[in-house]
Amino acid sequence: MIGIFDSGVGGLSVFREIHKILPDERFIYYSDNAHCPYGEKSREYIIDRARTITSFLISQGADIIVVACNTATAAAISTLRKEFPIPFIGMEPAVKPAAQATKTGVVGVLATAGTLKATKYIDTREKWAQNVKIVEHIGQGFVELVENGKITGPEAEEVTSRSVKPLVDAGADTIVLGCTHYPFLADTILKVTGKHVTLIDPAPAVAKHLLEVMTENDLIHTDGFSMDLHSSGDGTTLANTYNNLI
Ligand code: DGL
């Protein structure tokens, strides 16, 4: 059983890609929306939440876990790998494909404060973005929009434009979606940027990596699709978002 967790519904944007290549697996999803957003929380707090959620998912039968949250991956995945005897798959900031794709030589990165200040992101940027200019912005208010189901419309456009416009104004033609909530706002972000901008979502690469790790560990069972949804707070947005995906 594949366990997936996030601070909210964002991880469903990763599940969507996983399901395309692993359609017959059993899934359990945990939205930690009672403690959302993670973006501004301390590393210790996120590690504590990640530990609690991991224990729960394993108690329900998960034998591999996707940390479908960039912020939680940056803060907690190394601790989880030390403390639990199962494989963990995390989110990678997609700076490398973005640096290869840009024609203007300017890459925008949208992510949470926690992700942007994490060593994992800073190391990735130093390794892959030496020949391009990186401009970063916190997706201020994006997670709240998605958690409230407001992914299109005037409010979504106004909120997203505050963080996205500075990237476009700086010349970015390629924007990394460095938080798993943000792909749900892709249409709105493209409305703000114009269609000449390419958005890069790491989820398809993460799904591919999961498939490889499951194959190596003999975890592919294809015993029929199922999904068990859990949330620490109100489950309405989780159910609605999931029903719109499937
Ligand atoms: N979905 C998350 C991420 O990928 C966390 C958003 C948040 O809770 O701030 O970073």
pLDDT in tens, 138-164: 999 999 999 999 999 999 999 999 999
Q: Please tell me the distance from the alpha carbon of residue 186 to that of residue 198, in angstroms, as a whole number.
A: 10
pLDDT at 93: 87
CATH of domain 95-200: 3.40.50.1860
CA 44 to chain centre: 20
pLDDT tens per residue, range 177-208: 999 999 999 999 999 999 999 999 999 999 99
Q: Is the CB of residue 71 below 6 angstroms from any atom belonging to ligand 1? A: yes
Q: State residue 204's pLDDT score.
A: 97
Residue 92 has pLDDT above 90, yes or no: no
- Sheet of 226-231: strand order equals 88-89, 64-67, 2-6, 26-31, 226-231
Q: How confident is the model at residue 15 (pLDDT cuts 50, 70, 90)?
A: very high
Residue 78 tokens, joined = 């190394």
Please say whether the dihedral angle defined by the alpha carbons of residues 188, 193, 197 and 202, taken in this order, is positive or negative: negative
pLDDT the model gives residue 35: 98
> How far is the centre of ligand 1, averaged over its atoms, from the C-alpha of 218 (Å)?
30
Residue 223 has pLDDT above 90, yes or no: no
Going by their DSSP bridges, the two strands 64-67 and 88-89 should be labelled as parallel
Q: What is the pLDDT of residue 144?
A: 97
Query: Tell me, what's the pLDDT at 241?
Result: 96
Distance 35 CA to ligand 1 centre (A): 11
The pLDDT confidence band at residue 213, using thresholds 50, 70 and 90, is very high
Q: Hey, do 2-91+203-245 and 95-200 end up sharing a CATH topology, with the first three levels equal?
A: yes
92/73: higher pLDDT? 73
Q: Is the pLDDT of residue 63 over 90?
A: yes
Domain-wise residue ranges, the chain: 2-91+203-245, 95-200
CATH of domain 2-91+203-245: 3.40.50.1860
Mean pLDDT of the chain: 97
223 CA → ligand 1 middle, Å? 31
Contacts of 55 (CB under 8 A, 6+ apart): none
Q: What span, in angstroms and rounded, lies between the C-alpha atoms of 69 and 90?
A: 8
Give percent helix, percent strand, percent coil of the chain, each to the nearest 5: 50, 15, 35
What's the predicted TM-score (pTM) here? 0.97
Does pLDDT of 246 surpass 80?
A: no
Active-site residue flag, 36: no
Residue 177's pLDDT is 98
Looking at residue 65, what is its pLDDT?
98
Find the catalytic residue in 36, 64, 69, 164: 69
